[in-house]
Amino acid sequence: MCLADEIKRRNNVKIIGKGQKTLLLAHGFGCDQNMWRFLIASLADNFTIVLFDYVGSGASDISQYSKQRYSNLDGYAQDVIDICDALQLSKVVFVGHSVSSMIGAIAANKKPEYFSNLIMICPSPCFLNDPPDYAGGFETQDLLELLSIMNKNYIGWANYLAPLVLGDSNTHEFMRELSGSFCSTDPVIAKTFAEATFLSDHRHLLTDINQPTLIFQSQNDALAAVTVGEYMHKRIPHSKLSVIAADGHCLHMTHPNEIAQIIIEYLQ
């Protein structure tokens, strides 16, 4: 098996559609490519869509997981770059949910020629508060306690986090799916990814993003407030902020038609 085929198998890469412009969809923490299914229905007629699972998530090859590589977001960004290499992609539109927004920014900083645009759904460059200039939403101790619960009661942690992520107004079906997705991830891998997600600070990258960037923020999001989107919009040079009247952190699942329409109009 050649290296390109190994990468496609490793990351469970799938390609849908035959549009001239390619969208690379990158799932968030505790999720997999299946979470994009509601958005794909509206986008497949207009674009070629590349789906994948980060190593350690979904149907990826877990034997390729390395705690050293994936202890920070750079390892996940290398997954993205590897996939672009394997598929010989250039000028791709990177669509990232949550932490994948910053993973995409890291990848675009390393290989700018691979990416024409970044689209960020409910992003946060830093979940930690840094007063007086930045409100990430959480104190360090709060996040450390959340991570500690993962060790003591992983199922309980998943059942607690799912409604926090989705918002109380969204369906129990989505909450069960998200909780189940969290639970299906190896706890050791999940904790390492959680630490890389919630304890990192990538605010310094924002001013270096040269690709035109569309930022989606939910009006009521317990993980990333509108002020976080406004902070990013001010610092990313060629950015547009779209605030959606919605609850929760998963707009691609709860408001797929609205998100898809804005993406289509933006890229046209």
pLDDT for 113 equals: 96
Reduced 3-state DSSP string for 140-197: HHHHHHHHHHHHHCHHHHHHHHHHHHHCCCCCHHHHHHHHHHHHHCCHHHHHHHHHHH
pLDDT for 186 equals: 81
- Percentage of the chain exceeding pLDDT 70: 94
Check whether 10 has a pLDDT greater than 80.
yes
Q: What helix, strand, coil percent values describe the chain, rounded to 5?
A: 50, 20, 30
Side-chain-side CA neighbours of 228 within 13 Å: the count stands at 31
Catalytic residue among 221, 242, 247, 252: 221
Q: Does the annotation count 100 as an active-site position? A: no
Do 110 and 81 contact (CB within 8 A), yes or no?
Answer: yes
Catalytic residue among 27, 97, 202, 249: 249
Side-chain-side CA neighbours of 25 within 13 Å: the count stands at 27
pLDDT in tens, 101-149: 999 999 999 999 999 999 999 999 999 999 999 999 999 998 998 888 8
**How far is CA 256 from each of CA 2, 18, 82, 133, rounded to the nearest angstrom?**
36, 20, 28, 33
Q: Does the annotation count 98 as an active-site position? A: yes
pLDDT for 240 equals: 98
Catalytic residue among 57, 60, 98, 218: 98
In whole angstroms, give the CA distance from residue 192 to residue 185.
11
pLDDT average, residue stretch 59-69 = 96
- Percentage of the chain exceeding pLDDT 90: 75
pLDDT in tens, 177-214: 766 666 567 888 988 999 999 999 999 999 999 999 99
β-strands 239-247, 213-220: how paired? parallel
Q: Does the annotation count 101 as an active-site position? A: no
Mean pLDDT of the chain: 92
> Would you place residue 18 in the very low, low, confident or very high pLDDT band (cuts 50, 70, 90)?
confident
The packing angle between helices 172-184 and 154-166, to 10°, is 140
